[in-house]
Amino acid sequence: MKNDALSTALSQFDDAADRLHLDDDVRGVLRVSKRELSVNFPVNMDDGSIQVFCGYRVQHNIARGPAKGGLRYSPHVSLDEMRALAMWMTWKAAVVKLPFGGAKGGVMVDPRALSAAELEDLTRRYATEISIIIGQSEDIPAPDMGTNPQIMAWIMDTISMHKGHTVTGVVTGKPVAVGGTLGRVEATGRGVLFVIEELCKQESINLEGSTVAIQGFGNVGSVAANLLRRAGARVVAVSDRSGGVYDGGGLDVDSLVEHRKAKPLVECSGVDKITNAEVLGLPVDFLIPAALEGQITSQNAGDVRARFIVEGANGPTTPGADRILEERGVTIVPDILANAGGVIVSYFEWVQDLQFYFWEEDEVNDRLRKVITRAYREVAAAAERDGVTMRQAAMALGVGRVVEATLIRGIYP
Ligand code: NAD
C-alpha cells in the first residue's frame, strides 16, 4: 500500500486534474517525480562503530524553476513520504508565484539520538551524497522537521568545500552569519499569522480575543503561537510529541518556549495536561496542525470543533477528513497556502545570496505579507467564484500554473 501522505497528495492532484480537465498525458507527467535519488551512506559513530543511514532527495518538478524544498530528519522518512512532500512543494511555489519547482529530502534518523559530532558527520556525508543533484541553480534545500539553521550551515560549508569557494545560495534557512536572511526562522509561523489576519479581515472576525489551539510546538507551531498571542489571540492549547498543555484563559507562550528548550511540554507545571487527540477536538476559532501529515482523518474529523483549520504542517488532513469537514462547515486554509511563508522567505534569502545584498528585517516581513496576502486573496476569490473549498481552489491555481509552464516549454526533444 502507498504511504498515506502520498495517497493524500495523489488524491488531491487527481481532484485538481479533474477540475482542470487535464488530459491523461499531462496527468502522467505531473503524477510522478522527475528525479529520485536514494542514498545509503556510512557514518562513524562516537562509540567507534559504523552505522549506515538511508536518505533521499526527490525533485518532483522543475518546469517553473530550480527545485526547492526542505530536508527532514525523522525515523519515519520514506521515499513515498518524500514524493508527497516534493509534490506539495511544486504546487506551493506555484500558488504563491515563486519561480521554483518542488523537491524534498530527508534521512531516516532520529536526530535527538545522535551526538552533535555524529549529527554533523551525518549531515556532511548526506550533503555530499546528494551534491550530485543539488546546487544554487539546480535544487536548494531548506529546514523541515528535525533540521535547523546549524544543519543548513554544515550543508552550505560542505558544498562550498567541494567547490573550493563559498556558495551560500545552495541552501536556505542558514544562520544570518553565513548568508541567511533576517526573518527566516520565524517565516512559516509569521506566514500563518498573516494568513489568519487576512482571513479575519475577510470574515469580519476580531483576531483579538479569538482562540487558538496548535498541534506541534517546533519551528512552525511555537512561532505561530508566539505571534498570534502578541496579536491578541488567546492560545489555549499547544502540544508536542509528548502531549499537550491547556489553559482556557490563554497560555504563557514565552515561558513554554523557554521550558521546551530543556524538557517536553507535558513536564511543564502549572498548566492542565491534554492529549494530542484532545487538542484537535477543542472548540476554538483556529486549529493549527503544525506537526505531521495525516493527523485529521475520517476517524477524528467528526470531533473537530474549530471554525477554521489553518494548516501549518504539510498534509495534516486526509481527503476523507476534508469531505467531512466541508459538510460540517469547517473552513480549511490549505498547507500549500497557509505554510508558504517558509518557502517565500527562503526565496528572499536565495535572491539576497545571489545578489550579495541583504535586506532589513522589516523589508523581509513586509514582502512576505505582500506575497502571502496576495496569494490568499487569489485563492479565496477563486474558491468563492467556483464554489469550491480553499484547498480545491489553491490546487487548481497551483497545478494550473505548472501545467501552463509545462505546455509552453513543450516536451523535449
Ligand atoms: P520541528 O521539528 O521544528 O517541530 C515539529 C513539532 O511537532 C515538535 O514540537 C514535535 O514534538 C511535534 N510532533 C512530532 N510528532 C508529533 C506527534 N505525533 N504529535 C504531536 N506533535 C508531534 O518541525 P517544523 O519545522 O515545525 O515542521 C512542522 C510541520 O510544518 C511539518 O509538517 C513541516 O513539513 C511543516 N513545514 C515546516 C516549514 C518550516 O519552515 N520549518 C515550512 C513549511 C511547512
Whether 168 and 179 have beta carbons less than 8 Å apart is answered as yes
Residue whose CA is at the smallest distance from ligand 1 atom 42: 342
The reported pLDDT for the residue numbered 8 is 98
Task: Sketch the domain layout of the chain as residue ranges.
Answer: 5-178, 187-338
Query: What fold characterizes domain 5-178?
Result: Rossmann fold (3.40.50)
- In the sheet with 101-108, reading across from the earlier edge strand, the strands are 35-44, 50-61, 101-108, 67-74, 139-143
The reported pLDDT for the residue numbered 2 is 52
Please count the CA atoms within 13 angstroms of the CA of 345 that sit on its side-chain side: 31
Asked whether this chain's domains 5-178 and 187-338 adopt the same fold, the reply is yes
**Amino acid present at 296:** I
Which one-letter DSSP state was computed for residue 370?
H
Beta-carbon count within 10 A of 363 CB: 14
> Which set of grid coordinates corresponds to residue 398?
497551483
Whether 354 and 136 have beta carbons less than 8 Å apart is answered as yes
The residues facing 273 across adjacent strands are 245
Low pLDDT (below 70) residues in the chain: 1-3
Q: Catalytic residue at 370?
A: no
- CA 111 / ligand 1 centre spacing (Å): 14
Which one-letter DSSP state was computed for residue 267?
G
Residue whose CA is at the smallest distance from ligand 1 atom 33: 313
Residue whose CA is at the smallest distance from ligand 1 atom 8: 218
Which one-letter DSSP state was computed for residue 35?
E
Pocket test for ligand 1, best of 96, 188, 215 (most atoms within 8 A of CB): 188
Residue whose CA is at the smallest distance from ligand 1 atom 31: 313
Pocket test for ligand 1, best of 73, 100, 145 (most atoms within 8 A of CB): 145
How far is 274 from 280, CA to CA, in rounded Å?
Answer: 10
Q: Single out the catalytic residue among 2, 104, 163, 201.
A: 104
Hunting for cell 497560555 — which residue is that?
251
**What string of DSSP letters covers 118-173?**
HHHHHHHHHHHHHTTT-BTTTEEEEE-TT--HHHHHHHHHHHHHHHTS--GGG-SS
Instruction: Kindly report, residue by residue over 399-412, the tens digit of the pLDDT.
Output: 999 999 999 999 99
- CA 154 / ligand 1 centre spacing (Å): 21
Hunting for cell 567541494 — which residue is that?
162
Angle at 397 between CA 396 and CA 400, to 5 degrees: 75
Q: What global pTM score does this model have?
A: 0.98
Whether 133 and 57 have beta carbons less than 8 Å apart is answered as yes
> Which ligand 1 atom is at minimum distance from the Cα of 264?
11
Which candidate, 105, 307, 272, places its Cα nearest to that of 200? 307
- CA 67 → CA 38, 92, 102, 194, 398, distances in Å? 17, 12, 5, 25, 15
The reported pLDDT for the residue numbered 1 is 41
| 233 backbone dihedrals φ, ψ, rounded to 5° | -75, 160
Query: What fold characterizes domain 187-338?
Result: Rossmann fold (3.40.50)
Q: Which residues approach ligand 1 with their CB closer than 6 A? A: 143-146, 188, 215-221, 239-241, 276, 290-292, 312-314, 339, 342
The reported pLDDT for the residue numbered 84 is 98
How far is 315 from 322, CA to CA, in rounded Å?
Answer: 11
- CA 386 / ligand 1 centre spacing (Å): 32
- CA 363 / ligand 1 centre spacing (Å): 27
**Amino acid present at 78:** S
> Which set of grid coordinates corresponds to residue 343?
518557502
Residue whose CA is at the smallest distance from ligand 1 atom 16: 241
Say if residue 150 is exposed, middle or buried (CB neighbours under 10 Å; 0-12, 13-18, 19+): middle
